[in-house]
Structures are given as C-alpha cells and as structure tokens.
Structure 1
Amino acid sequence: MSQNLIAALQNPDLYPHEVDGFQVIETHISWVILTGPYAYKLKKPVNFGFLDFTELSGREHFCNEELRLNQRLTEGLYLEVLPITGTADAPVLGGEGPAIEYVLKMRQFPQSQLLSTLQANGELNTAHIDEMAQQIAHFHTHAPQVPQEHHQGTPEAVMEPVRQNFEQIRPFLSDKADLLQLEALQAWAEASFTRLKPLFEQRKAEGFIRECHGDIHLGNATIIDGKVVIFDCIEFNEPFRFTDVYADTAFLAMDLEDRGLKSLARRFISQYLELTGDYQGLELLNFYKAYRALVRAKVSLFSMPTEASPVQRAATLRQYRNYANLAESYSTIPSRFLSITHGVSAVGKSSVAMRLVESLGAIRLRSDVVRKQLFGEQTADNSLGGGIYNADASVATYKKLHEMAGTVLRAGFPVVIDATYLKREQRDAAAKVAEATGVPCLILDCTAPDAVIEGWLAHRQAIGSDPSDATLEVVKAQQASREALGADEVLHSKRVETHNSKSLDTLIADIRQRLPGL
C-alpha cells in the first residue's frame, strides 16, 4: 500500500457524508483517517511474525474480524467493512470492480475522551473504573470458551510467551544490574509456573480460557454518549485473545498501576471479583501482571532505533527499568490479614471496607452480594428474619464468606469481610479462618450517630443500587439484638467512626504500622 493511496483518500468528494477535515493517525500496523463524523481504518501490508497483513485477502479477513470481535463490547462504533476500488491515485470508496484495499468504517469520537487522556488530565474517577469492572465482568462471563482440545490455555501455552520475553529482552541489556534483575525475574517466573501449574490445568479444564479482548488498557477505552466503551481488541492473533480471563484483567490492573493509580487498580480487581465470583483464580493475578509488565518492557526496547544516540538509549532504558521494576514488585510477598466489619446495616461498613481495598490492597467480600449469589434476588418475604434473611440463609452466607476468605488468603492477599457480624459465633468463625491461615485478625467496630445512619439509609434506598435490602426496622432490630464485643475481642479490634474521615485515616495508618509490608 502506497502513501499515494492515503493521500488520495483525503478527498472529501469520496465520502457520502460531510467532511470536517482530515487527520491521519499512523501506527506500526495501520492508518486511521479521521473525517469528523467517521474514521476509516486501513491495515498496513506488514508481517511482524505475531501478525501477517501482507496479503490483500488477509487484510480483508482481519478487517471483518475486527468488526465482528469489537461489536462484543461496543454498539454503533464499528460500522462496516468497505472495499476500495479504482487505483491508488484515484480510489473509489465502496465502488464496483476489483478491490485494491479494504477499510473499516467507524464512528469517530474525540481523542480527548480517551480514558488515558482523562487520566493524564486528572479527570479519571472511580465511576469510570466501576463501569469498566462491570463491563469486563459481564464480557468475560459470556465470552465463548476455548475448546478443551485447543492448545491455548494449557500450562505450556501459558509459559511459552513468558519465556520468550526473557529471551528477547536479554540481548538488549548490558548493565550488570539489569541482567541480574532479569535473571531473578526469570527464576521467579519459573518457580511460580511450577507452583501454579496445577491451577493452570484446573483453569483450562473448568473453561476459564475464553475468547477475551487481549488488549484492555486506558488507551483502548473512551467515553461515548456518557458511557465507557472498551474498543480495539486483538483481532490479528488468536493466541493473544484465547487466554485466561485473569490475563485480560491483569493487563488493565498493571496499566493502572504503571500510571501510579494503585488504589484504582485495587478497586477494579475487588469490584470485578464481586461480580464474577472468580476467587479461585486470584493466585494467578500477580503472575499475569508481571508478564504484562515485561511485555511492555520488551516493547520499549524494541522501539529503540538501531543507531540510537546516547540520549535515546538512556530514555529507552529508563522506560524499560520502570516496567521491569513494576514486574519485580509483583514478585514480593505481601503482608496478609483478615479483617471483619462489625456494625448494623447502613453504618458505613462498605465504605470502610473499600478504604482497605484501595489503601492496603485487600480483597473485599460483601455479605449482601454473596447472599444473593447463593439465594438469588428474591424480594418476597425479605423482612427481618424472613426469605433470604432467615437464620439458615445467614448461616450459609457466613460459611461461604469464610470459605472465600480462606481462598483469598491462601492466594496471598489480605481480606476484608463486609458484613454485620453482630453475633459472637460469627466473629469466632472468622477468627478460626485467620488462625488456620496464619494471619492476624482485626475487627473493625463501625459506629455512627443514629441520625447519620438513618440519613445514609434513606439515601441508599432512594438511589436503589445497593445490594442491601435493610430497612430502618431492620436496623433498629439489629441495634437491639447485637452482641457486644467481648473483652478478648476488644484487644484485636479498632473502633471506626465511619462519619469521621480522620478516624478512617487513623485506621489505615495503624494497620500499616502493624504490618509494614503493606
């Protein structure tokens, strides 16, 4: 494909719509021609090994694949594939006769609305992250499973690109410290692979290898009509797309952490897990995050010019080291703990738990969510002690919460269980989980004035998006029947005034002081 064609396509007479002007965005694999209302994407005739666009038939095929695959997460963004006929100097868009090229027509959106741009401008917020978590969780839950006989998702297939990273990075490095770090990272990856191999096999057998997106990061998400839209999935390489859902999820988490947004990364993971319930695979998260970070590290080295100047080489190595250090951070052993909230409904326990997620990397388990996952969204007879809130349902809910907590702790992450824990036997059961996994247990004794609780409860009911069904009658009954913390429990509890932000700040500081590895 010649530059002549790209130049010739910048002619407003070729398009069946108004053209506001032309702008061409070029990457190593494509050109995108912006016209104002629509964008037209052409694939370059290149072969990089992991993709091959050298044949016209291949470019047509992958244009259609890009259209098909991206419609899974978008609506009205990817529109159609059109042939370009005529000649490179006098092209016709969608004309008759033999095609000389193919183009993917898309709805154009402002580059200023990319989440990466919003982040750079300090405008990315928790609502964007929560929306991404919801979309990705729904997408992964419904994505087609890769057939069992397919090689992708086997332990060998998982480890092959991990080892390839180290092989391809090493020739670029000469500094002893860089080489020693790479050697340590490779040793950690191999040791992790040996330890995790049974889990990789289990994930394959249980259908968690799916047709994923393959390239989820802030640069591939934008705001359209007020909603987050995730676009530009991997269409050109099945192995990049046929992967464990955790590999997909880890990419966004790593990208957020690379941008210094660790609290948002932690929030994203915890929210995603609440929606999918896929806690069994959590032990894979850091393995895949390290892999993704080293892919970025490798790409930064690949981008260095052959005859790089000392300044260019220093800049490239600085970028490489940032990603290598990020990968190394995922190999450290974190401090673990089990914390449980204690307090009536609407006292602010969920907000306290989310602070532990964002500040300390805990995984939040919510009784309201787990209860409805176990028993469904029943609304009949959900009064105090009725329906899914009867005694047997509550016993089952706490049992499930404690099983999940054990899974998360064994995966190497701290846990905060967001539940009322008004009964001593419930708190004792949680303490046994902590004892069995060898971690400290902390009770977060959540309090707030009655007027504040009533106000929060009314606000929550008005919004109608909270999983809790608690009413003021329920809260009053809880206050009357709650079992106070025993003297032995007070010794490992922290009182939290949920309406006082300083109380929350003090809580986080105290936990960090006790567990400096956080």
Structure 2
Amino acid sequence: MTESAVSRPIAPEQAELIAYLSTSEAHDGETPQRIDTHLSHVFVGPQTVLKLKRALTLDFVDYSTPEKRRRYCERELAANTDWAQSLYLDVAPVWKTPAGFQIGGDRPRAAPVDWLVRMHRFDDEDRLDKRLKAGRLTMSQVERFADNLAANHERAPQSAQSGASETVSGLIDQIGGDLQMAETDQEGRDRSARWRALAHSALKTHAGLCEDRARQGKVRQVHADLHLKNICVWRDQLIGYDALEFDDTLSTIDLLYDAAFPVMDFMHFKAGWASNALLNRYLARTRDYDGLPLFDLYLSLRAAVRAMANGLAGRHVEAEAYLDLALECLAPSPKPLLIALGGRSGTGKSTLASAIAPTTLGKRPGAIILRSDVIRKVMVGQSPEAPLPPSAYTPEASARVYADMAQQARACLGAGYACILDATFLSEKSEANLADITREFDGEVKTLWLEAPAEELRARVAARRGDASDAGVEVLEKQFKESEPQGWTRVDVSGSREKALTALRRALA
C-alpha cells in the first residue's frame, strides 16, 4: 500500500492496539502485512486494509488525541471521495472491551480508544509504478486517467486565498532546505542550492501568471500527492488514492501543479509516451494551455519533492535521479518546433503524431498535440470520442475550430513547447490560420502532407472504431475532390504503421 517502511517509535498508548491489529484475529484469520509510514501504521489483510494514524505531533500535523485522529481519518475519507470512492470503505471506531478490541459496531456508552480508515485491498502489483515496470499499462488507461483528473479538477472547490506566488516561494524554500538536510556530501548540497536558486528565478519570471491563475479560479483543493506510487488500477481504471488530507494549504494548489506530479513521475520512470499522453489529454480536456509557462517550474518542484522524500528516507540513488530531473526541467530549452501534419482521413495523422510527440525536438515531456477533431468535441462540451451530428461540421464551426487551434498553438509555442497540428488542412481557412501562427513564430516550421492510395484510405476509415474523428467513407470521398495545400513535404504513409512512422521520421530529419 505504501512505498516504504520507516523507523519511528510506536506511541505507548497505541502499542496494545497495534499488537492486536498485527494478528490474524483482526484480519479474518490471516496474518496481515504491517507497514509503518511517517504518519500511519498500515495493516494489509486478505481483503481489507486498516490504516491507523500515529499518535504524534509534528510541525505540520497534530494526531495527538483519538478525537483529532478521528477528524483526520474523516478528512482522509473526504479527500479521496472523488478519486477513489469505491476503494475506501469508511472510518471505523475502535473500542476496548473486556473481551478485547472491537472494530466498528455500536457502543454508545464508551468512547472509542482510536479510529481507523478502512479500505479495500488492491493487488500490490496493480500500483502504477509496478504496472508500468511490468509493461501492463495502456494508452487508453492513461487517457481515461487524464479525463478523470480533468473532471475532478473541474469539481474541486476553488480557493479565495491571495499570495499564490508567495506560497510557491515558501514551498521552494522549504523543499530546498529539506533537500540540503538530506544530502550526505557537499556536492549534493551545492546541487540543492543551485536548484533552489533556479526555481526562485523561474518563479520570479512567472509570478504574475501565478497570481492571475489564482484570481481565475485555477487554484483549488485537489489530491496534491499524485505520484505513481499513489495511483493504482482498481476495477479496471487508474485511480489516485492517499490524497493529502492533513494540511489544506498544501492541498490547495494550482491545478497544473497537481497534474504535473504524474507527468513528472512518468518522466522519472522513463515512460515518455505516458507522460506525453497524459499531458496532452489533460490539456485537451481542460484547454488550460495559457498556464504552460509555469509547467516547467511545477515539474521541477514535483521532482524536487520526490528527491527530498527519498533523500530523507535514505534512498540516495533515487533521490539523486529525481534531483537530476528537477534541474533538467529548469534548464534552458531549445527553440520550439512547429509541425503541421495534414492529410485526408485515414492517413494516420493522430497515430503518428502520438508516436513522434514524446521524441520531437523540444523540451520534455515532448510536443503538445493539437488535434482538430478533439478541439471540435471539447468546444461543445463532449468527450473526444463522442460522435457529433452533421450540424457540428459546418464551415462556420470548422472556422472556429481552426481559430481555436491557432490560439492554442500560440500559447504552446510561446511557452517554449514543440507543437504538432493534426488536421486535414484542406480548407483555405486552415491554411490561413497556419500562416497566422507562423508569422509570429521565429522557430522552425515543418509542413508535412501525408498521403496513401485511395483504396487504402477507404479501408482504414471503414475499419475505424472509437476514434475522435467522425469522418466516414462518405466524408473521405468529398475530401478527394478538395485541393491539397501547396509547397508541403509529401510523406508516403501507405502500408504498416512502422513503415509510415519511419517515413515520417525521415521527413522530419
């Protein structure tokens, strides 16, 4: 359930209860696995997990009395309701009786001696970092997770607090100080100090945007701890659990800072395809492209948090890797690249864009993909795969789609990200919007026209299922009569996906 055991003395007032919870009697006759974290004792039984908050007081949390622990158990349950409602069971009182301890039930004349959070047990191999390592993670799972993240962010309560940039500045100082405490040599302390200086410099550059986002309602109370070890597959979908419940200040953050944690952790675990897919899907659903100038800093902060946690726990190799990533995220970026992928339906534009995006020249986690089909759906409040009626495909509607794509592209490129435009580019309006983007852009521009034999395109379109594109064979036939853009590099994408991808990469090179 949790990432590691830690050594901290057991509170005397909980020693007897912990001994009981460690026995088979408390877990349907099977001896549980006990895991001690900094803040809790976790008992993993055959079907159920019991979580006991430690009787302690720290600078940031007070679990000193049963009543305070009850309140924090209830806060934990509430904090995880949106993400993991079906995984969490309840908050259960614990009574001491002449016959021993009793969990749950009704004893109105006695005060509970403690409280537990009860959860279903999930297979430890279904924790996301382990699923990823075993190759048991799919693109559709990542995209559904991004959809849920966007939906939860939309529902999350907004904060009226001011001073967002000061809050981030204080966080940089806290993390930087803890990083230096965790380092074992002067070189490590110097690197931590360099990270702190770079983070403050990045924040100074974008402090105004940080404040603007708070005023726009982009600072909300969210999960706040979505690294891969706090995400699991439960009932065939990825869910976040163990949300940060003990400090509203730490859990009330910029929405992109919350999204940055799993994106960063996928980068750490060398899963560029997943980090890129998660970011692209999340941005497509939220349309939050204007916040991207802050995203490098947020990625770096998240990596520094994991470096700090691993360093304080004595896992110095992993701490070093996270600190390397934290510094990399704040390094100067190359000039962004703009790629326009045009072509008729069935040329595989979206499949190929997803394949090249994580490796396209530019900063990690790769290129931002702007797909006209997805923009059209999200503009009218639909999911990308939901079919739309013909009325959504009028020339006027298409003009709005391409204008929105141009606006989003300018935001991405302005934030230093490579950008891939995925559209047919068969209309004069689409080419006009592309010209408008490139007039204001001093980086490299590549316009690639994908093509394949007509019969092959007809077969691909007829076989398509569950795609964001609503274009069928009838639409494709109309596209054959439209003029292709002139002066673009032509790329033969006939045959297998691997052959098409090789041809596209050759054209990009």
Q: Same fold (TM over 0.5)?
A: yes
Sequence identity (%): 26
- Which ranges in structure 1 are unaligned for 5 or more consecutive residues? 305-314, 514-518
1:46 and 1:499, CA in 2 relative to 1: closer, same or farther beyond 3 A? farther
2:98 and 2:248 map into 1 onto residues whose CA distance is 31
Q: Which of 157, 168, 176 matches 1:158?
A: 168
**Structure 1 position 144 matched with structure 2 position 157:** yes
Deviates more, 1:88-97 or 1:215-224: 88-97
8 A Cα contact 2:310 2:318, kept in partner:
yes
1:36 and 1:320, CA in 2 relative to 1: closer, same or farther beyond 3 A? closer
1:506 and 1:348, CA in 2 relative to 1: closer, same or farther beyond 3 A? closer
1:381 and 1:238 map into 2 onto residues whose CA distance is 44
**Structure 1 position 508 matched with structure 2 position 505:** yes
Post-superposition Cα deviations, 1:131-182, rounded to whole Å, max 9, x if no partner, equal 2111111111111111x2x24x611112111122223323554755434433
SS of equivalent residue, structure 1 residue 73: helix
Q: Look up the match of 2:132.
A: 119
Q: Report the CA distance between 1:406 and its aligned residue.
A: 0.3
Post-superposition Cα deviations, 1:488-514, rounded to whole Å, max 9, x if no partner, equal x23xx3514164413413533654x5x
**Structure 1 position 454 matched with structure 2 position 458:** yes
Q: What does residue range 204-353 of structure 1 map to in structure 2 within 5 Å?
A: 204-304=214-314, 316=316, 318-332=317-331, 333-353=333-353
TM-score, with structure 2 as normaliser: 0.89
2:207 and 2:500 map into 1 onto residues whose CA distance is 43
Q: Look up the match of 1:495.
A: 491
Q: Look up the match of 1:181.
A: 191
1:380 and 1:132, CA in 2 relative to 1: closer, same or farther beyond 3 A? closer
1:19 and 1:133 map into 2 onto residues whose CA distance is 39
1:232 and 1:162 map into 2 onto residues whose CA distance is 23
2:500 and 2:347 map into 1 onto residues whose CA distance is 14
2:29 and 2:506 map into 1 onto residues whose CA distance is 56
1:336 and 1:494 map into 2 onto residues whose CA distance is 22
Post-superposition Cα deviations, 1:103-146, rounded to whole Å, max 9, x if no partner, equal 11111222122122212323223232122111111111111111
Q: What does residue range 406-425 of structure 1 map to in structure 2 within 5 Å?
A: 406-424=410-428
Between the two proteins, the alignment pairs up a number of residues equal to: 484
SS of equivalent residue, structure 1 residue 80: strand
The residue identity in structure 1 corresponding to 2:502 is D
Q: What is the RMSD computed on CA atoms of the aligned residues?
A: 2.4
The residue identity in structure 2 corresponding to 1:258 is H
The residue identity in structure 2 corresponding to 1:478 is Q
1:498 and 1:414, CA in 2 relative to 1: closer, same or farther beyond 3 A? farther
Q: Which of 442, 446, 456 matches 2:446?
A: 442
Post-superposition Cα deviations, 1:365-391, rounded to whole Å, max 9, x if no partner, equal 111122233345697861xxxx22222
Q: What does residue range 314-393 of structure 1 map to in structure 2 within 5 Å?
A: 316=316, 318-332=317-331, 333-360=333-360, 361-375=366-380, 382=390, 387-393=391-397
2:318 and 2:87 map into 1 onto residues whose CA distance is 33
8 A Cα contact 1:359 1:508, kept in partner:
no
Deviates more, 1:441-450 or 1:420-429: 420-429
8 A Cα contact 1:8 1:88, kept in partner:
no
The residue identity in structure 1 corresponding to 2:442 is G
1:89 and 1:323, CA in 2 relative to 1: closer, same or farther beyond 3 A? farther
1:11 and 1:355 map into 2 onto residues whose CA distance is 50
8 A Cα contact 1:2 1:88, kept in partner:
no
TM-score, with structure 1 as normaliser: 0.87
Q: Look up the match of 1:2.
A: 14
8 A Cα contact 1:340 1:418, kept in partner:
yes
The residue identity in structure 1 corresponding to 2:473 is L
- Which ranges in structure 2 are unaligned for 5 or more consecutive residues? 1-12, 361-365
1:498 and 1:293, CA in 2 relative to 1: closer, same or farther beyond 3 A? farther
The residue identity in structure 2 corresponding to 1:401 is M
SS of equivalent residue, structure 1 residue 269: helix
1:494 and 1:175 map into 2 onto residues whose CA distance is 55
1:373 and 1:174 map into 2 onto residues whose CA distance is 49
